Amino acid sequence: MKDKNLALLCDYYELTMSNGYFLSGYGDKTTYFDMFFRSIPDGGGFAVAAGLEQLAEYIEDLHFTEENIAFLRSKKLFSEEFLAYLKSFRFTGDIYAIPEGTPVFPNEPLVTVRAPAIEAQLIETYVLLELNHQSLIATKASRMVRAAMGRPILEFGSRRAHGADAAILGARAAYIGGCSGTACTIADQNYGVPASGTMAHSWVQMFDSEYDAFKTYCALYPGNATLLVDTYNTLKSGVPNAIRAFREVLVPRGVTGFNIRIDSGDIAYLSKKARAMLDEAGFKDCKIVATGSLDEYLIRDLLLQGAAVDIFGVGERLITSKSDPVFDGVYKLAAVEERGAVVPKIKISDNTAKITNPHFKKVYRLFDKSGKAFADQLCVYDEVIDGTGPITLFDPDAPWKKKVITDFTARELLVPVFKGGVKVYESPAIGDIRDYCARQTGLLWDEVKRFDNPHTYYVDLSTKLWTVKQQLLEAHK
């Protein structure tokens, strides 16, 4: 992706508006845009932010080539002055974002852009597509990892992904969400997501017998033997032939780390029977891998049924988030600057869920004395919450519901990514992001992490911000 010029990966209206801003004298007007989402996929209690590293790479390299300019000129819609401006285009603004791996909630900014109007407008599509896609997959992965209750989840979905970039970056996002590895080799090369894999059914079919297939693989790859036992008959031939190959090829070499994989059939039943056969053969350390159209609900149900599965491999239901494949992030104007002052802006709708939170904002996460997160609060940019004094929390939709909080700590979530067009944020290593995600998810109450009817985690407005919002609503009646 780093070798592609993606300047025209934008909605056409971003170009028409930018041309209009330029011709109308608004091009250099300082604006504030928020990227946020309105609902959590699968009705979950939280989402996981991901995609910031790729967004920062895009912003840093954003420029228009001669070919881009020639194409736009051919549309006979854009002024030559605007096209000349694009020739020397570079992002010069500020960007703040919530770090990847952070649990996030509806209506709070994942990204805030402060930049001249044209610059802020032209990056809209990429901000949304990168964070929407990777946050969606990271969120789905987090659900599956929690369903597995400590058992590793491997991402196996490249062949069902919606294109090459979706496969590669989906594997990256799944790892951030807690997966232990991927089948996507290039995701390991490009991003350090551990890749693994052994055999498909075609390997077994290629040989004269199932046993020959297993024996040959064990001889070739003694340290990486996971034998696929369901090509013909899992219990009558697959598991017995695997046991024979382990005993005759690997045990004499002193190898003890080997697995079997079940890809079809009644996994709960087959895994329990296979476990008994392996144990009886003396292979109690042999792990059972289960694959085949799994999701968090099937994983949870298999474990409730006592399935003897040690590792899960998940494909299309993870890489496409099949059950809820849209992360509904939006990008909205929140403020402009007039003579150096920040002037809040609001979008109003008959659908109250689409009314935006105005102003240049901060996001604070509040933790109780046990260290658990209990609410987030949006504040105006010049407000500070440091935990030294009480604050009043209230439901923005029902402000009479109030609660005074005294014993808490607060952490600001948005961090600088670009200042004056210069990238000031260094993305952590992928393993560090994954570990951070696990730690931060662990700071949420279990009630928020339920799959069904999770406890609502509140994102409140400070009194100052709520007042500004009400004044704008009144002014536009």
Domains of the chain as residue ranges with CATH: 1-338+414-444 (3.20.20.70), 358-409+448-477 (no CATH)
Helix (H) or strand (E) holding 96: strand 94-97
- pLDDT range class, residue 395, cuts 50, 70, 90: confident
- Any long-range contacts for 342-350 (C-beta under 8 Å, 24+ apart)? 342/32, 342/381, 344/468, 344/472, 345/472, 346/469, 346/472, 346/473, 346/476, 348/473, 348/476
- pLDDT range class, residue 22, cuts 50, 70, 90: very high
Flag whether pLDDT at 262 surpasses 70: yes
Flag whether pLDDT at 394 surpasses 70: yes
What does the angle CA 439 – CA 440 – CA 446 come to, to the nearest 5 degrees? 95
Flag whether pLDDT at 301 surpasses 70: yes
Flag whether pLDDT at 53 surpasses 90: yes
pLDDT of residue 270: 98
pLDDT tens digit sequence for 213-246: 999 999 999 999 999 999 999 999 999 999 999 9
- pLDDT range class, residue 389, cuts 50, 70, 90: confident
pLDDT of residue 471: 97
pLDDT tens digit sequence for 131-163: 999 999 999 999 999 999 999 999 999 999 999
Flag whether pLDDT at 400 surpasses 90: no
Helix (H) or strand (E) holding 143: helix 124-147
- pLDDT range class, residue 3, cuts 50, 70, 90: low
Exposure string over 312-328, b if 16+ CB within 10 A, otherwise e: bbbbbbbbbbeebeebe
Mean pLDDT taken over the chain = 96
